[in-house]
């Protein structure tokens, strides 16, 4: 049983409670869990809980170490470069209903399960787009492809290798060789499928995807939001991201200051309203930029998106 199906099963078991407060908590818990589970883009920006909507902090983007230090002496006080990180969580709201007719006919549980499932998916789609659009705009380096992947001489391996090297070579990225295994290559679906085609590399019959993943330990991931010519990146951009909280954060309000689920009678139905406050922010290299050297973009990898 998948994790999502387990959530739906628990919904069916607990959805019959008549306690309004408990029922609201159940809805919030399962929709939030389902939305997190279905948010594929969280692989690029981990979810971070906040108890406020306006987050204003500073973090050390660079710390100097004194070396060598003479025997018996103390090192000089190291230089610390502080960078502000401000993020404002925005409200998302959705709803579903349990109709009186469903209650009379005895299938309110079906409406309950489908309502929670569909609303969780709707939240996840908004969160996916929020994360991807933010990360896609947060690159520091960008280059054009060395050869369209759907052309006569595709440069799939070459493009990915160059992107990995670019991130590793940038001092501001502070990346290590071990970090390569955490890298994510975010692709349009068409490009992902092309990377799955068989080819011969070093006299070995393999796919481009298997070769680069085994070579570097990174992961190729397709995203629908990157696949449309009218979508993020015009449908033909590749993003290579070294993910983590030092690259981008997907902030979610987890405080208890206001109700995040409400229900009310509307016509011949009970309406459940669910809210979540969230936003994504790239962690900048310094106070003078808004981008991260841990994000790289390669453009025009597809001749026809």
157 & 192 share domain: yes
Is residue 24 a part of any domain in this protein?
Answer: yes
Is residue 107 a part of any domain in this protein?
Answer: yes
Calculate the average pLDDT of the chain. Answer: 90
Identify the pLDDT of residue 4: 58
Mean pLDDT over 272-288 rounds to: 95
239 & 270 share domain: no
Instruction: State the residue range of the domain holding 242.
Output: 139-247+288-299
179 & 201 share domain: yes
**pTM attached to this predicted model:** 0.90
Strand ranges (DSSP E) for 148-268? Answer: 184-187, 198-201, 204-207, 219-222, 238-241, 248-253, 261-265
Identify the pLDDT of residue 63: 87
Is residue 79 a part of any domain in this protein?
Answer: no
Identify the pLDDT of residue 10: 61
Is residue 119 a part of any domain in this protein?
Answer: yes
213-250 tens-digit pLDDT? 999 999 999 999 999 888 899 999 999 999 999 999 99
141-166 tens-digit pLDDT? 999 999 999 999 999 999 999 999 99
Residue 123: CB partners within 8 Å, gap ≥ 6? 31, 34, 35, 92, 94, 274, 276
Residue with the larger pLDDT of the pair 285 and 31: 285
For residue 152, count CB atoms less than 10 angstroms from its CB and return exposed for 0-12, middle for 13-18, buried for 19 or more. Answer: exposed
């Amino acid at each position: 049983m998948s994790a999502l199906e387990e959530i739906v099963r628990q919904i069916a078991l607990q959805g019959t409670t008549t306690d309004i407060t408990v029922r609201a908590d159940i809805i919030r818990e399962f929709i939030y869990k389902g939305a997190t589970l279905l948010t594929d883009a969280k692989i690029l920006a981990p979810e971070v809980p906040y108890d406020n909507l306006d987050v204003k902090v500073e973090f050390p983007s660079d710390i100097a170490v004194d070396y060598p230090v003479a025997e018996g002496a103390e090192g000089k006080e190291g230089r610390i470069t502080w960078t502000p990180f401000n993020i404002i969580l925005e409200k998302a709201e959705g709803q579903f209903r349990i109709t009186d007719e469903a209650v009379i006919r005895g299938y309110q549980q079906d409406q309950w399960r489908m309502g929670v499932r569909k609303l969780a998916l709707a939240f996840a789609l908004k969160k996916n787009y929020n994360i991807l659009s933010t990360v896609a705009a947060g690159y520091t380096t960008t280059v054009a492809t060395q050869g369209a992947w759907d052309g006569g001489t595709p440069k799939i391996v070459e493009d990915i290798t160059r992107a990995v090297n670019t991130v590793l070579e940038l001092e501001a990225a502070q990346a290590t060789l071990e970090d390569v295994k955490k890298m994510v290559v975010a692709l349009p679906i068409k490009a992902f499928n092309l990377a799955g085609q068989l080819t011969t590399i070093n006299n070995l019959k393999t796919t481009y995807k298997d070769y680069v993943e085994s070579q570097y330990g990174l992961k190729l991931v397709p995203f629908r939001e990157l696949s449309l010519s009218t979508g993020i990146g015009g449908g033909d951009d590749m993003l290579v991201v070294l993910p983590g909280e030092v690259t981008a954060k997907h902030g979610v309000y987890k405080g208890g200051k206001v109700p995040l689920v409400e229900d009310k009678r509307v016509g011949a139905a009970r309406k459940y309203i669910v809210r979540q406050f969230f936003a994504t922010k790239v962690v900048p290299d310094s106070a003078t930029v808004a981008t991260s050297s841990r994000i790289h973009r390669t453009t025009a990898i597809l001749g026809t998106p």
